[in-house]
C-alpha cells in the first residue's frame, strides 16, 4: 500500500485540525473517576452503549470508596449489556480499591500510575489523559487504526505500533488529532460503506477503502 508523503501528512493534519479542533469524547462523565470507568467499559463496546449503562452505575457508586465496597453481582447486573461484563465488573471493583488504598480516593492523572489500575492499559490511560488533561498523546482504537491505514499514515500490524508511528509523524496537537481521527472513522470513514463520495474531506489522500483491523 502506498504511504502518505510528508506533504500529504501535513495536509491531512491541517484538515483534521480545522474540522475537529474542538472535538471531545462522546462518552458522558462529570469527573476523572467517571471518565476512567467509561473508557474502561468502552473497550469492545460502543460509546452509545456505555452512555446507556453509566448513569445508573454512577448513581449507585458515585465515589471510588462506594465502588470498592460494591457487590460484584450488582455491578454485573448494571453493566450486563456491555461486552465482557464479567471481567469488567471484577476490574471496576479492583480499580476502585486501588484508587482508595493507594491514591487516597483520587484518580492519578499520570500514565505510569493509571496503568497500575485494573482494566487500564496504555490505550485507556492515554484516552483519559487526552480527554481530561489535553495531553499531547495518541491512542489507537479500531477507528484510528483503520483510518491511519486507509490514508497511508501507517502500515503497522498492531495498535501500539500504529500509535508510535502517528506520534512520530504528527508530533504536535496529538490530543485533537486523536479525537478527530476517532470521529472521522466513526461517522465518515466507516468500516463498511465509507462515505467516500458524499462526506469525505480527505478523499484525495485515500490509499485504500479496505477494512483494516489491528492484530
- Whole-angstrom distance, CA of residue 128 vs CA of residue 120: 10
The catalytic residue among 2, 123, 171, 207 is 123
**Does 141 qualify as catalytic in the annotation?**
yes
The catalytic residue among 112, 141, 171, 207 is 141
**Does 22 qualify as catalytic in the annotation?**
no
> Residues with catalytic annotation?
123, 141
Amino acid at each position: 500500500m502506498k504511504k502518505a508523503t510528508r506533504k500529504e501528512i501535513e495536509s491531512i493534519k491541517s484538515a483534521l485540525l480545522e474540522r475537529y479542533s474542538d472535538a471531545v469524547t462522546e462518552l458522558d462523565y462529570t469527573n476523572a473517576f467517571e471518565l476512567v470507568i467509561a473508557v474502561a467499559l468502552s473497550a469492545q463496546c460502543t460509546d452509545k452503549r456505555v452512555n446507556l449503562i453509566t448513569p445508573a452505575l454512577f448513581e449507585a457508586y458515585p465515589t471510588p470508596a462506594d465502588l470498592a465496597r460494591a457487590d460484584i453481582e450488582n455491578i454485573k447486573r448494571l453493566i450486563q449489556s456491555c461486552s465482557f461484563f464479567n471481567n469488567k465488573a471484577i476490574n471496576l471493583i479492583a480499580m476502585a480499591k486501588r484508587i482508595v488504598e493507594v491514591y487516597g480516593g483520587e484518580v492519578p492523572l499520570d500514565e505510569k500510575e493509571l496503568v497500575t489500575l485494573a482494566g487500564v492499559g496504555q490505550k485507556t490511560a492515554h484516552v483519559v489523559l487526552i480527554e481530561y488533561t489535553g495531553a499531547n498523546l495518541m491512542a489507537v482504537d479500531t477507528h484510528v487504526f483503520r483510518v491511519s491505514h486507509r490514508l497511508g499514515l501507517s502500515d503497522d500490524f498492531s495498535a501500539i505500533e500504529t500509535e508510535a508511528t502517528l506520534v512520530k509523524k504528527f508530533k504536535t496537537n496529538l490530543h485533537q488529532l486523536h479525537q478527530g481521527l476517532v470521529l472521522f472513522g466513526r461517522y465518515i470513514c466507516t468500516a463498511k460503506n465509507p462515505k467516500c463520495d458524499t462526506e469525505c474531506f480527505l478523499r484525495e489522500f485515500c490509499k485504500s477503502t479496505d477494512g483494516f483491523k489491528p492484530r
